[in-house]
Chain A
Amino acid sequence: MKFVLEESKVQLLKERIQKHKQKPGPLMPTLHDAQNIFGCIPIEVQKIISEELDESVAKINGVVTFYSNFSTEPKGKHIVSVCMGTACYVKGAKAILDTISDMLNIEPGQTTKDGLFTLENTRCIGACGLAPVFQIGDKVYGNATKDTAKQAIEEILKSEA
């Protein structure tokens, strides 16, 4: 997937940065906005932030790559994240991750060639009462099994076909 820098999004980011600059410690809120606006923070975006905040690109790159929620590469349309928190793990989250990984033919952290799915193993999302859980986008699937995972992926494949 190729990253395209859209002018309207750049403008939006710049507006947000002006707002954040009024307060101390503007970098983290800026990066959150950048991630939301562009879906990732590649070097092109880092350069814009660098100019606006008057910080070196090296520093910004250091911060971006430190936090796992920020990504320098575009992600898939659907982000499938399997919770690997303890409660989910002891209740069989690994099997669910493997099932989805086999289905999509990608490893966790990778994106399918068609750009449809990114698979991630995520930190505990705090829904331990319904363990094991996985998430597609914002939707959380509780008490998951290999079958419900398969079904959920198949449904999306169908709707995208």
Chain B
Amino acid sequence: MVTFDYLNATKIKTEAKINPQNHKNGFRVVVGMATCGLTAGADKVFQTLKQLIESNNLDNIDLAPVGCVGECALEPLVEVIDHQGQKTTYCKVSLQDIEKIVNQHLISGAPVKELTIDNYKNIDSSSLQVRIALRNCGVINPEDINEYICYDGYKALGKVLTEMTPEEVIHVIQESGLRGRGGGGFSTGLKWSLCAKNKGGQKYIICNADEGDPGAFMDRAVLEGDPHSVIEAMAIGGYAIGASQGYIYIRAEYPLAVQRLNKAIEQAYEAELLGKNIFGTDFCFDLELRLGAGAFVCGEETALIASIEGERGMPRNKPPFPADKGLFARPSIINNVETYANISPIVLKGAKWFASMGTQKSKGTKVFALGGKINNTGLLEVPMGTTLRQVIYDVGGGIPNNKKFKAVQTGGPSGGCLTAEHLDTPIDYDNLVKLNSMMGSGGMIVMDEENCMVDVAHFYLQFTVEESCGKCTPCREGTHKMLEILEKIKSGNGTMQDITELEELAYYIQDSALCALGQSAPNPVISTLLNFKDEYIAHVTDKKCPAKVCKALVNYAVVADKCIGCTKCKRNCPVQAISGEVKKPHKIDTNRCIKCDMCRQACPVNAIILE
């Protein structure tokens, strides 16, 4: 039976191993080994480090793989923590660098200055960040339950089971003001209380890990970096609502997260933190993984339920809400990964602590995945109410190549874009909705002047058209029709009438689609129409794409003054559309040109432009 004594003993034992203070001249060395890191070659880095540490007989070093450190663009990352707790972060570590780090830093104790993060980033993006959901990501070895326990893991579960009633648990969560981190922002405590009211019989608690928004990888980071935090929180939730069975529905596109979750569940069973009579109480809880199969709509809760049941993943009308009638027609709770990641700290530190962060109606922090045209691509967690400007410039380091910021898309295909004038808006659920976007799960894609907003709207709509489950007509037919209009506009055949119809259709679909996916599908179009109508108009009246993205509306041309007549473009053109003699300016026959971009890439003096 698992007890507090067991947790404490494990903590002391693990602390002795992982805290460098306990070894003379010792270090803890961690390598970021989530999907980003592994893609960048972290596996080899880890193996090489291990070999060198062994061959040099360095027994005062604890080497561990960890989850996402948050600096995705600078992977592979190696962090060295010395016995005073001082952390040195090495970025883009190559195999050659490792020898230097081992010899200079781990053996002689002098950090290798030229390889540290300061050489890559001129801002300290950690100052604005508060890590609650990501507290253990990049800190602990996600494949070792003892390291999770060392950071007070499963203490909250113990506290809940031995000291609190289910009502008290729900009360704390409700008081904290925690709202669902998956998009809609419904109060988590209220949701739990609705489900708890349904007395008797089997209930289910489900984790929605079907993170399908393109450009969002917050949940992946939590699952890969700290899987136990989700497992513990689901057990707490199970106790609160009276469910003895939990399911984690995770998308199959995240094989590493699946693997680490499976391992974590196995370890939790071994430690008797899952299973029968947890902490010696009457509470029993089983947890199982269920894999998605590549359907975006399954992120919608009723569709997710249908998918677990073995049906086509189609949403249904609500009510009845899943809290009353959910999985296998039993009362069920579905929360998102990040929501769960917040639960244990709230239980341990109290509702007041959590509610002291954030804005009036949005409490705590939010994890964002910052991507697109941004210097510091990565994962960050900031208090609710932080402004977009702080996120993009102070944490994200601004736009690369001195380009101008144009927009940021939040909420993925269900959200909208925010522009330069919204940069000082504090980010919370309600403000984003007011601006015709939404929090979504927290993907933020930054766009610069080279992105065409009509093209961006087209891109998202294409996504929702493909992912529409086909159940309701507004979504199945309506979004398709919208896409046709957008294609017409992009190809230069659009009229002002088309823009009007596009807008009308968008609002009809918003009002009449069955599920959240359909209702929010027109959002990217609506918000680009609101903020960038001039671009749409330029496409239809001037037949021009201001950002020079829509291929049908741009032409390739040679700047005669710049052209040195090297004939490279002519030789590379697949359709012989370029003419000209050696050392004389060349010309492109726009009638023949297929706009393949080969000439522009071949030109050594950038003399070929788009107009």
Whole-angstrom CA separation of A130 from B378 in the bound complex: 10
Q: Is there an interface contact between A28 and B35, defined as CB atoms closer than 8 Å?
A: no
> Which chain A residues (70-113) contact chain B, with CB distance < 8 Å?
70, 84-87, 89-91, 95
Q: Is there an interface contact between A87 and B445, defined as CB atoms closer than 8 Å?
A: yes
Q: Across the interface, which residues of A come within 8 angstroms of B255, CB to CB? A: 138
Interface residues of chain B, those whose CB is within 8 Å of chain A, are 35-36, 38-40, 71-73, 75, 211-217, 220, 252-255, 288, 290-296, 307-313, 328, 369, 371-373, 377-378, 409, 412, 443, 445, 447, 451, 456, 459-460, 469, 597
Task: Give me 9 A-to-B residue pairs in the complex whose CB atoms sit less than 8 angstroms apart, sorted by A's number.
Answer: A28-B307, A28-B310, A67-B292, A86-B409, A87-B377, A91-B372, A124-B253, A126-B35, A142-B40
- Of A62, A84, A95, A128, the contact of B369 (CB 8 Å cutoff): A128
Smallest beta-carbon distance B288→chain A, Å: 7
Any chain B CB within 8 A of the CB of A122?
Answer: yes
The 3 closest A-B pairs by CB, nearest first: A129-B72, A27-B310, A67-B293
Q: Is there an interface contact between A28 and B291, defined as CB atoms closer than 8 Å?
A: yes
- Flag the segment in A9-17, A18-26, A153-161 that touches B: A18-26
Smallest beta-carbon distance A17→chain B, Å: 12
Q: Which residue of B lies closest to A138 (CB)?
A: B255
Q: Is there an interface contact between B214 and A66, defined as CB atoms closer than 8 Å?
A: no
Q: Is there an interface contact between B459 and A89, defined as CB atoms closer than 8 Å?
A: yes
Whole-angstrom CA separation of A157 from B247 in the bound complex: 42
Given A126-B253, A128-B217, A28 and B293 touching (CB < 8 A)? yes
Q: Is there an interface contact between A130 and B409, defined as CB atoms closer than 8 Å?
A: no
Smallest beta-carbon distance A22→chain B, Å: 11
Smallest beta-carbon distance B217→chain A, Å: 4
Q: Which residue of B lies closest to A146 (CB)?
A: B601
Given A63-B311, A66-B295, A23 and B288 touching (CB < 8 A)? yes
Any chain B CB within 8 A of the CB of A127?
Answer: yes
Whole-angstrom CA separation of A55 from B253 in the bound complex: 27
Q: Which residue of A lies closest to B459 (CB)?
A: A89
Any chain B CB within 8 A of the CB of A56?
Answer: no
Q: Is there an interface contact between A68 and B378, defined as CB atoms closer than 8 Å?
A: no
Q: Is there an interface contact between B72 and A67, defined as CB atoms closer than 8 Å?
A: no
Q: Is there an interface contact between B412 and A126, defined as CB atoms closer than 8 Å?
A: no
Q: Across the interface, which residues of B come within 8 angstroms of A142, CB to CB? A: 36, 39-40
Q: Is there an interface contact between B451 and A90, defined as CB atoms closer than 8 Å?
A: yes
Whole-angstrom CA separation of A126 from B308 in the bound complex: 23
Smallest beta-carbon distance B575→chain A, Å: 14
Q: Is there an interface contact between B39 and A127, defined as CB atoms closer than 8 Å?
A: yes
Whole-angstrom CA separation of A71 from B288 in the bound complex: 25
Q: Is there an interface contact between A131 and B220, defined as CB atoms closer than 8 Å?
A: no
Given A25-B308, A68-B295, A86-B459, A126 and B220 touching (CB < 8 A)? yes
Q: Is there an interface contact between A128 and B377, defined as CB atoms closer than 8 Å?
A: yes
Q: Is there an interface contact between A87 and B215, defined as CB atoms closer than 8 Å?
A: yes
Q: Which residue of A lies closest to B466 (CB)?
A: A68
Any chain B CB within 8 A of the CB of A69?
Answer: yes
- Of A23, A31, A67, A89, the contact of B313 (CB 8 Å cutoff): A67
- Of A27, A69, A89, A140, the contact of B294 (CB 8 Å cutoff): A69
Whole-angstrom CA separation of A133 from B214 in the bound complex: 13
Whole-angstrom CA separation of A140 from B256 in the bound complex: 13
Whole-angstrom CA separation of A70 from B294 in the bound complex: 8
Q: Across the interface, which residues of B come within 8 angstroms of A123, CB to CB? A: 212, 214, 253, 294, 296
Any chain B CB within 8 A of the CB of A115?
Answer: no
Q: Is there an interface contact between A124 and B213, defined as CB atoms closer than 8 Å?
A: yes
Q: Across the interface, which residues of B come within 8 angstroms of A152, CB to CB? A: none
Whole-angstrom CA separation of A124 from B328 in the bound complex: 30
Whole-angstrom CA separation of A6 from B40 in the bound complex: 38
- Of B71, B214, B294, B378, the contact of A86 (CB 8 Å cutoff): B214
Smallest beta-carbon distance B401→chain A, Å: 13
Whole-angstrom CA separation of A95 from B272 in the bound complex: 51
Given A129-B72, A130-B36, 12 extra CB contacts under 8 A: A24-B309, A32-B291, A32-B293, A62-B312, A87-B214, A90-B447, A123-B214, A127-B36, A127-B72, A128-B369, A129-B75, A142-B39
